[in-house]
């Protein structure tokens, strides 16, 4: 049974890495918020478009991480590396495919989604450069899967700091035209993010070569392709790939509905989204740890420890989130002013921030138990729960956002509904489902 200290030792480096990575998100939003409302709104649309495709790779890496963690728990270390290698080869091929797809059809897709010409033009300027990040981000997630699956998470913090520092410096230089560089605005934000992702890969390669026992983990044959192993990984990953894609696609649809309310409403929603993402960092780190620790526990024969482990992490997550949202609830205007100095944007954002605070308290427990489902290896059930929930999510978005054209704060109540449904469905799964003997 994992102790609180062991859980925290795995989770804390992930938390720090997510915190550093989200400095990229906060920096982009804060800098572009001082360029214009159009740039701020377009970065939300372009960023979500990028993330929507990126989640395909992230979903694959999550499935790979589950398998790596299971082999690590079984002490079959030599079988860990081949999973990572097949993942890198597969995702590199996928990166070329989605890059080409985006270049050919990205403009047509955004033209259907975005109603404002100003937002559309700025969004396409962002996407044109941002998609080069696929070639780096898709490999990055496999290194992340390897280190989380083997519970060597401290390196993620260092890597994220490298990314964040690179992005912050280049964001400032390229958006505003500092250090002798041209002022590129939203295009500069996209280029800075791509270079930051490239720096992450360079760091991972150097660190892995210098510190990892390549032979022990079977990392000595990077050029070998194993179709049979890839299919085994995909048997788990295909469900997480689809699950994550659907989740972000509906989030993208949510912002598309907001965009139709107006450029200012979209700018407000992007500010609130950034605060939302930062608040989710502790939950996301503990969710990732839950996924890996549950799989490790089952692999080492500790099925009986799974539910006590999940409950322990849920309690930890809720208490941390309660502390975070209390601070945000006391100083909402000060938090929002990080992103913009326009009084009207600040005032319009505060009520939506309070809605997000309620949603985060539910999310702090819902995400943990939901990640436990994937940790058992039953990614099909996780996809089913997510799919049913997202159907309800989309109906709510249509009614509240498109039909009734409700204010931004009312639109964000969808997050409370979403996490409540996830929590209830996940609880039923562990209470009624047959997950104890799932083989992967």
Would the pLDDT of 178 be above 70?
Answer: yes
What average pLDDT does the segment 162-177 reach?
90
Q: Which domain holds residue 140?
A: 4-432
Is the residue at 438 inside a domain?
no
Q: How confident is the model at residue 293 (pLDDT cuts 50, 70, 90)?
A: confident
439 in a domain, yes or no? Answer: no
Number of domains comprising the chain = 1
Looking at beta carbons, which pairs linking 209-216 to residues 24 or more positions away fall under 8 Å? 211/155, 214/81, 216/77, 216/78
Max avg pLDDT among 92-96, 286-290, 297-301: 92-96
What sign results for the dihedral spanned by CA atoms 249, 254, 259, 265? negative
Reference 298, options 16, 74, 125, 42; nearest CA is 74
Q: What is the band of 438 on the pLDDT scale with cuts at 50, 70, 90?
A: low
In this predicted structure, the answer to whether residue 357 has a pLDDT above a threshold of 90 is yes
How far, in whole angstroms, is CA 82 from its chain's centroid? Answer: 25
- Output the pLDDT for position 239: 86
pLDDT at 433: 64
Mean of the pLDDT values across residues 55-81? 87
Other CB atoms within 10 Å distance of the CB of residue 93? 10
369 occurs within a structural domain: yes
Q: Which tens digit of pLDDT belongs to each residue from 300-323?
A: 666 777 888 889 999 999 999 999
Tokens of 393: 């999510």
pLDDT of 63: 85
Q: What is the mean pLDDT of the chain?
A: 86
Check residue 434 and give its pLDDT: 67
Predicted pLDDT of residue 380: 83
Q: Measure Cα distances from 247 to 232, 258, 310 in Å.
A: 24, 17, 23
Mean pLDDT calculated for residue range 395-416: 91
DSSP 398: I
- Nearest CA-CA partner of 385 in 345, 425, 354, 348: 425
Residue 145 is assigned to a structural domain of this protein: yes
Helix, coil or strand: residue 153 = coil
- Residue 69, CB-side half-sphere exposure with 13 Å CA sphere: 29
| pLDDT for res 150 | 87
Q: Tell me whether residue 125 is in a domain.
A: yes
pLDDT value of position 308: 86
By 3-state DSSP, what share of the chain in percent is helix, strand and coil, each rounded to 5? 85, 0, 15
Geometric angle at alpha carbon 355, from 352 and 359, rounded to 5°: 135
Q: Would 315 be classed as within a structural domain?
A: yes
The pTM is what? 0.79
- Render pLDDT for 103-159 as a digit per residue (tens, 0 to 9): 999 899 989 888 888 889 999 999 999 999 999 999 999 999 999 888 888 888 888
Which tokens is 74 given? 């079984």
Residue owning tokens 């526990």: 297
In 3D space, the residue among 284, 295, 287 whose CA is nearest the CA of residue 375 turns out to be 295
The rounded Cα 170 to chain-centroid distance in angstroms is 22
pLDDT at res. 28: 74
Return phi, psi of residue 34, to 5°.
-100, 5
Any domain includes 440:
no
| Any domain includes 404 | yes
């Amino acid at each position: 049974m994992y102790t609180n200290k062991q859980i925290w030792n795995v989770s804390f480096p992930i938390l720090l890495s997510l915190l550093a990575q989200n400095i990229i998100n906060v920096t982009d939003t804060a800098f572009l918020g001082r360029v214009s409302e159009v740039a701020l709104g377009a970065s939300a649309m372009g960023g979500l478009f990028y993330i929507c495709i990126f989640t395909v790779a992230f979903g694959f890496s999550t499935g790979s991480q589950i398998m790596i963690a299971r082999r690590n728990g079984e002490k079959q270390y030599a079988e860990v590396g081949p999973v990572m290698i097949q993942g890198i080869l597969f995702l590199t091929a996928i990166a070329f495919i989605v890059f080409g797809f985006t270049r050919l059809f990205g403009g047509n897709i955004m033209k259907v989604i975005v109603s404002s010409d100003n937002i559309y033009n700025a969004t396409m300027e962002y996407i044109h450069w941002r998609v080069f990040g696929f070639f780096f981000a898709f490999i990055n997630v496999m290194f992340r899967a390897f280190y989380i699956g083997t519970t060597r998470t401290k390196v993620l913090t260092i890597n994220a700091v490298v990314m964040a520092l690179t992005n912050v410096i280049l964001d400032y230089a390229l958006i505003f035209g500092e250090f002798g560089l041209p002022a590129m605005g939203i295009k500069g934000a996209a280029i800075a993010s791509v270079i930051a992702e490239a720096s992450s890969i360079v760091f991972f390669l150097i660190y892995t070569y210098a510190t990892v026992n390549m032979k022990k983990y079977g990392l000595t044959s990077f050029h070998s392709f194993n179709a049979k192993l890839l299919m085994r990984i995909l048997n788990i990953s295909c469900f997480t790939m689809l699950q994550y894609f659907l989740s972000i696609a509906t989030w993208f649809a949510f912002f598309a509905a907001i965009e139709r309310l107006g450029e200012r409403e979209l700018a407000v929603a992007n500010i609130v989204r950034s605060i939302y993402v930062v608040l989710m960092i502790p939950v996301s780190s503990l969710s990732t740890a839950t996924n890996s620790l549950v799989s490790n526990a089952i692999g080492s024969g500790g099925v009986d420890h799974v539910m006590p482990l999940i409950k322990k992490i849920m309690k930890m997550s809720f208490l941390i989130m309660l502390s975070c949202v209390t601070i945000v609830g006391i100083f909402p205007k000060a938090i929002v002013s990080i992103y913009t100095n326009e009084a009207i944007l600040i005032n319009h954002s505060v009520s939506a921030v309070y809605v997000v605070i309620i949603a985060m308290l539910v999310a702090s427990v819902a995400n943990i138990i939901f990640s436990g489902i994937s940790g058992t290896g039953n990614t099909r059930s996780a996809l089913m729960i997510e799919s049913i929930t997202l159907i309800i999510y989309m109906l709510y978005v249509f009614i509240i956002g498109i039909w009734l054209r409700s204010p931004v704060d009312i639109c964000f109540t969808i997050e409370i509904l979403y996490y409540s449904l996830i929590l209830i469905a996940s609880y039923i799964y562990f209470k009624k489902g047959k997950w104890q003997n799932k083989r992967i």
